[in-house]
Structure 1
Amino acid sequence: MFTMLILAYIIFAINWVAGSNLSKQITEYYFNGQSVSASTSELVNYTITGARIVANLLAVLILAKLNPKNASLFALVLLSFSFLAVFSSNYWIYTGARMIMALGGSMVMVFINVYVAKFISKEYKTIAGAIITAAYNAGAALVAILFLVFNDLLKANWQNTMLIFSSFSLIIVLIWFFFADDFNPLPKTETNKNYFYQKLLLESRLIAHVEEEKEYTYSDALKEKFVYIFSLGFGGFLFLYVMSLVSLPNQVAANSTIGFKSAFMILTVTMGGILATILDLFLLKLVVNKKKFLLTNGFMMIASMLIGLYLSNIWLIGSYLALFLSGFFMYLVYPVYLNYPYDLPATTPKQLVMIFGIVWAFGYAIHTLFNIIWSIVLQNYGYVASLIFYILASSIYLIFAYMLPRFDKK
């Protein structure tokens, strides 16, 4: 079941990244070959990231009403809207269907952790965590390889291409319906507070079913200065990472004079991330000064991205290498950054639930806002100005990572 949900999340990544690669063909189809604004072409990405905000909250309600099997089935059915989107009669219906797809894909990620906590033994939980982290990169890398090898064929008819990619979402629904098992997800006791138990509580909100001694609400969490500092830094990180896979590649390729390929950008960033994910299994336990680690590697991921973009018109190999390094440093940062709140002193699991709920919502909201501004800058001031904004906006990660409290491993 864990494997099926991982495959479902990979399918989500494939459909998101493939749709972004085909955005030019899709908008030309729906607008009869007329040029559209950058904001219009980016609308699908706005709604997908917006859906990821809502999905985290919806997953809580759905899991509270349904058992894990049916909750996951519901998410997979929503994911299959990627198939229905292909038959949309206009761009706005297409965008809505893709947003529903994103709701399902994002909820799948939440429900994966339910199965990890229940079925994956302790000695394999770290590996399971690495697989979950690498799932999106794996899907994006697969799309990149396919577009590198079959670019003309895949772009010849976007509907046929997306039908093939999205059909896998229907297959996974049927497999899940007939073969997935069910179980009671509620923990028997709160005494077991290992990492994956807490992760389960954070991502699925099962803590709502556990009696707490002290009431702690979202209003209380919103009073925490840490929440805003952490969320703003996370928003900068998300903007750097997500844009490098779904919005920037086509723009960089279109403005390169030396044959830069968008698929190579996606592939290099994701392969760097996958390598870092593997190394994370061995390196993260050695990190002592987390704040210094986040600042050093955060600077490297932004600097490498800047160099990669600069070289895209000068030296292809150097550009791809820098982009690979950027993806590598991103995924050295990612697990350490997201585990930072666990070190907050005197913080209960219930408080962490509230903090992470706000962080994910604020983080994706900041990313979406930056994405909209980036589109406006691109449309009105041009490609170079949009790259400057991209790097500057991503750099807020460094500002707010510097403002984080310091927790050293003892």
Structure 2
Amino acid sequence: MEEQRIKISSGRAVLIETIMFFTYAFFAVNWIAGSTLTPQIMDYFKLKTFASATFISNAITIAKIVGNFLAAGILIKLFPKKAIGLGSGLIVAGSVLAVLAPQYWIFVLGRFFMGFGGALYVVYFSPVVIHYFAPEKRPTVNALNGVAYNVGGIIAMLIVGPVIRWLETWQYSMAFFAAVSGVLFLAWPAVGQDFELNRSSGTVAEKYTAGDALKDKFNWFFPLTYSGLLTFYIVLLNIFPISGTTAINSKTLSMLVAFGGVAGSILAILLARVFFRRLPVIRWSGLAMTLFGVLMFHTDNGTLSMVAAFAIGVFMFLPITSLVMIPQELPNMTPAKLTTIMGLFWALSYIIESVVYYLIGVVIDKSGYSAGLTIALVMSATFFLGSFLLPETGRASKK
């Protein structure tokens, strides 16, 4: 029955995955475009310090924290089709509100709504994966979902500049990207569908509440592991490109990190076919990412900087599939339980990241970009250290 349902739904599953992938990718484009346009936005709203400007990005982050906590409840109440549609709609509505904002606080509110929609989206990837895709296909789909934001980052780096030159103002530029998200939002009702949330292997599972999740130590170690990588990644995309602290152009290095992320995701798909353990991939990728970060920040050789940047991207995204497979492979997992776990995971990860990101902004104001980037680099080590606290859900060989 289960295999037949997955087979019957395979065409619809591909369409659902495609719409969700590009919706989240263009959420990333909107976010990064806003960060790229930070100088113009600061001038427009008469902001004086970089720490104040970080509230623009942190508005999205705070919204994502709230949205992550509420995602499971919204999914259960609205069911998948409406819940995912709500996330997409909020991304569009928040983008439009930010573009039309006459005052800074309204701009921040728009970014808040946008972040809330993104929060729902990133949580809903996992229940969609375990419902529509057979276990042997999940590593591939997880890898694609994991790189969606990075694809958005590449799109942003390639087209934000030309769009700004074409449309001239930050409002028109951000409106252009909001329009793309609007098209994806309008496509969702024709593609999305509802499915059972509390069923595992054909049987109805016990209800798993947020309280149950908070009592499980796994749900604390899991986001702690990821938070350092998340902080490092957001800093590399949003602060590093304007830092001017490396041997060659920082924007070039950021783009190489993004392309390395795509390569890392492709490698993750290939690796998942022959290697079925999760923790070794997380552990050694995490260590390599941090070490290559040290090299990129401190070498005076441009070629080494470029190699290190690409390697950071590879080792940042290679282990993401292994990381998100762990909760999917826990015993008696259902879409509803997985949504609760992933909602808490993203919320706690972003709580840690948002605090550290703001502190990095304060440090940059006082001591310069190098000091702020060093904090991000130290934080990245949580990915390596946390791998010693997580359970191994993989197996030694293919069954």
Q: TM-score range by the shorter chain?
A: 0.7 to 0.9
* Pair 1:89–1:337, CA change in 2 (3 A): same
Contact 1:11–1:168 (CA under 8 A) maintained in structure 2? yes
Q: How does 1:4-403 map to 2 (within 5 A)?
A: 4-31=19-46, 36-80=48-92, 81-113=94-126, 116=129, 125-147=138-160, 150=162, 153=165, 156-177=168-189, 180-181=190-191, 183-186=193-196, 189-192=199-202, 210-212=204-206, 217-250=209-242, 252-253=243-244, 255=245, 260-262=249-251, 264-287=252-275, 290-311=278-299, 314-341=300-327, 349=334, 354-403=340-389
Which structure 2 residue ranges, 5 or more long, are not aligned?
1-14
Q: Distance in 2 between matches of 1:181 and 1:336?
A: 28
- Equivalent residue letter for 1:228: W
Matches of 1:381 and 1:17 in 2, distance apart?
Answer: 25
8 Å contact kept, 1:27–1:91 = no
> Structure 1 CA distance, aligned partners of 2:205 and 2:135?
25
Deviation at 1:238, TM superposition (A): 1.1
Distance 2:130 2:370 in 1: 46
Q: Deviations over 1:285-318 (max 9, x none)?
A: 444654333222111111112222224xx33343
Residues 1:101 and 1:291: Cα distance change in structure 2 (over 3 Å): same
**Residue type at the aligned position of 2:27:** F
In 2, the alpha carbon distance for the partners of 1:288 and 1:188 equals 27
Instruction: Report how far residue 75 of structure 1 moved.
Output: 1.9
- The alpha carbon displacement at 1:42 in A equals 0.7
Counterpart amino acid of residue 225 in structure 1: K
> How many pairs does the alignment contain?
379
Aligned-pair CA distance for 1:365: 0.8
Counterparts in 2 of 1:260 and 1:332: CA distance versus 1, 3 Å: same
Aligned partners of 1:147 and 1:154 also within 8 Å: no
TM normalised by structure 1 equals 0.81
Conserved? CA contact 2:90–2:114, under 8 Å: yes
Change (3 A) 1:166 1:348: closer
Inter-partner Cα distance in structure 1 for 2:182 and 2:53? 27
d(CA) in 2 for partners of 1:174 and 1:368? 31
* In 1: Cα distance, 2:158 partner to 2:110 partner: 26
* Farther-moved stretch of structure 1 (77-86 vs 391-400): 391-400
**Contact 2:285-2:318 within 8 A present in 1 as well:** yes
Shift of 1:119: 5.3
Question: For 2:317 and 2:96, how far apart are their aligned partners in 1?
Answer: 31
Over 3 Å counting, the alpha-carbon distance change for 1:382 and 1:407 in structure 2 is same
Q: CA RMSD in A?
A: 3.0
Conserved? CA contact 2:226–2:349, under 8 Å: yes
Q: How many Å separate the matches in 1 of 2:164 and 2:264?
A: 32
Measured against aligned partners, the alpha-carbon deviations of 1:147-188 in whole angstroms (never above 9, x if no partner) come to 56x3872694222211211111222233335xx145441158
| Separation of aligned partners in 2, 1:54 and 1:365 | 10
Matching residue of 2:11: none
Q: Unpaired segments of 5 or more residues in structure 1?
A: 194-209
C-alpha distance after superposition, 1:330-389 (max 9, x if no partner): 111222223334566x67657766544432221111111111111111112222221221
Task: Give the Å deviation of 1:239.
Answer: 1.0
CA distance in 1, matches of 2:95, 2:376: 28
Q: Distance in 1 between matches of 2:221 and 2:89?
A: 36
Aligned residue identity for 2:201: T
User: Does the 8 Å contact 2:198/2:337 carry over to 1?
Assistant: no
Q: Deviations over 1:103-161 (max 9, x none)?
A: 1123233445555556557775554333222211111101112256x387269422221
Q: Distance in 2 between matches of 1:111 and 1:288?
A: 24
* Percent identity for Structure 1 against Structure 2: 28
Alpha-carbon distance in structure 1 between the residues aligned to 2:62 and 2:367:
25
- Give the AA of the match of 1:18: A
Q: With the length of structure 2 as denominator, give the TM-score of the two structures.
A: 0.83
CA, structure 1 residues 243+192, in 2 after alignment: closer, same or farther (shift >3 Å)?
A: farther
SS in 2 for 1:39: helix
Verify the 8 A CA contact 2:256 2:309 in the aligned structure 1: yes
Structure-1 separation of matches of 2:285 and 2:248: 30
CA distance 1:219–1:97, shift in 2 (3 Å): same
